[in-house]
Amino acid sequence: MSKKQNSKNQGGTIALNRKARHEYFLEDKYEAGISLQGWELKSIRQGKVNLSDSYVILKDGEAFLFGAQIQPLNSASSHVICDPERSRKLLLNKREISRLIGAKERDGYTMVATAMYWKACWVKLEFYLAKGKKSFDKRDDIKDRDWSREKERMMKHTAR
């Protein structure tokens, strides 16, 4: 008999950046592994992750997650120095990194982290190439969302 796996660690969302869709036009989606320390993995299992102001930076041909907060547990080892806001290396192919460098330098894109999730036993980060929205773009999105809700209400009442 095999032991039953913990459903929390098998394929599920750890953290989301809900603000990203409101602030940016999200275009190309990428998935990357993250280089983590032991205490960070334990904190991630407890759900102590915040991606709200995180983004990806490129430095010396490598990609790093910047601005993500992983709060250490109270029971973490005393000999390990826990930095909740350290930049974490992302694991990407050279081809993907060169494509990101080109889009960032030529086209003025930024890379915004949108989700962190489990894929089998690994922690993955989903991020997008994005362009910032102006305030009138945000108002248009809100207006469209309200109109679609109103349409649904009208269709629901006319169907009765």
Q: Is residue 151 part of a domain?
A: no
In the predicted model, is pLDDT for residue 56 greater than 70? Answer: yes
The answer to the question of residue 159 being in a domain is no
Asked, for residue 139, whether it belongs to a domain, the answer is no
The pair of three-digit structure tokens given for residue 129, joined into one six-digit string: 């190439």
Q: What's the Cα-to-Cα distance from 26 to each of 34, 87, 102, 146, rounded to whole Å?
A: 21, 22, 17, 21
Q: Is residue 8 part of a domain?
A: no
- Examine residue 7 and state whether it is found in any structural domain, yes or no: no
Range of the domain at 105: 13-134
We report the CATH number of the domain holding residue 59 as 2.40.280.10
CB 150 within 8 A of CB 141: no
Residue 89 within a domain: yes
Report the first-to-last Cα separation within the chain, whole angstroms.
54
- The answer to whether residue 3 scores a pLDDT higher than 70 is no
Specify the DSSP class assigned to residue 132.
E
Give the count of domains, the chain: 1
Domain membership of residue 70 (yes or no) is yes
Does residue 72 form part of some domain?
yes
Encoded tokens for 27: 């275009």
Q: Is 18 strand, coil or helix?
A: coil
Distance CA 56, CA 34 (A): 12
How much is the pTM?
Answer: 0.74
Per-residue model confidence (pLDDT) at position 122: 92
pLDDT for res 77: 63
Q: What is the reported pLDDT for 20? A: 87
